[in-house]
Amino acid sequence: MLANKAKPARRRLDLVKGDQVVVIAGKDKGKQGQVLRTLPEQDKVVIQGLNLVKRHLKAGQRAGGGAQSMQGGIIDFEAPIHRSNVMLVCPNCGRPTRIRRITLPTGRKGMECLNCGQPIERVGRVEGQ
Ligand SMILES: [Zn+2]
């Protein structure tokens, strides 16, 4: 019998929408892109133009008995990539880097690039993902 239920711990990724990242594993290894969306529950991110997957759509499928039919064809969409397969690109030194969490002089939480030692400032908000 399981005594411990899964905790509804709120995961938080250290990546946010708009971050520049480089893929370090898989078919898009070495490519850079911008984070479109984060999936904290799955530890995954969606990166613009990377990890494209082709999805085949059948023509003439009808949903809910409606009169309209979907156009068939093949579309590309960005599949989520696991956090461990990407690295943040430091906006200061432009290199893929690891980061350390720091408290900025202003008292706000921030990150520091372990490559160049510069604090990384976010355009977007880190909180409230
Ligand atoms: Zn740096």
Given the candidates 3.40.50.620, 3.30.1320.10, 2.30.30.30, 3.30.565.60, the CATH classification of the domain at 20-62+72-120 is 2.30.30.30
Q: What span, in angstroms and rounded, lies between the C-alpha atoms of 118 and 86?
A: 20
Determine the distance separating the centroid of ligand 1 and the alpha carbon of 117, expressed in angstroms: 6
Query: How many angstroms separate the alpha carbon of residue 100 from the centre of ligand 1?
Result: 11
Nearest CA to 82 among 125, 118, 127, 28? Answer: 28
Instruction: Give the DSSP letter string of 45-90.
Output: EEETT-SEEEEEE-TT--STT-S--PPPEEEEEEPPEEGGGEEEEP
Going from the Cα of 57 to the center of ligand 1, the distance in angstroms, rounded, reads 43
pLDDT digits 0-9 by tens, 18-62:
999 999 999 999 999 999 999 999 999 999 999 999 988 877 655
Distance 111 CA to ligand 1 centre (A): 10
Q: How confident is the model at residue 129 (pLDDT cuts 50, 70, 90)?
A: very low
User: How do the domains of the chain map onto residue ranges?
Assistant: 20-62+72-120
Of the candidates 26, 6, 5, the residue with the CA atom closest to the CA atom of residue 86: 26
Cβ proximity of 86 and 96 under 8 Å: no
What values do phi and psi take at 76, rounded to 5? -100, 140
Cα–ligand 1 centroid distance for 120 (angstroms) = 8
CA of 114 to the centre of ligand 1 (A): 7
The rounded Å distance from CA 127 to ligand 1 centre is: 22
Dump pLDDT digits (tens) for 79-117: 999 999 999 999 999 999 998 988 888 888 888 999 999
Mean pLDDT: which of 11-15, 21-25, 63-67 is highest? 21-25
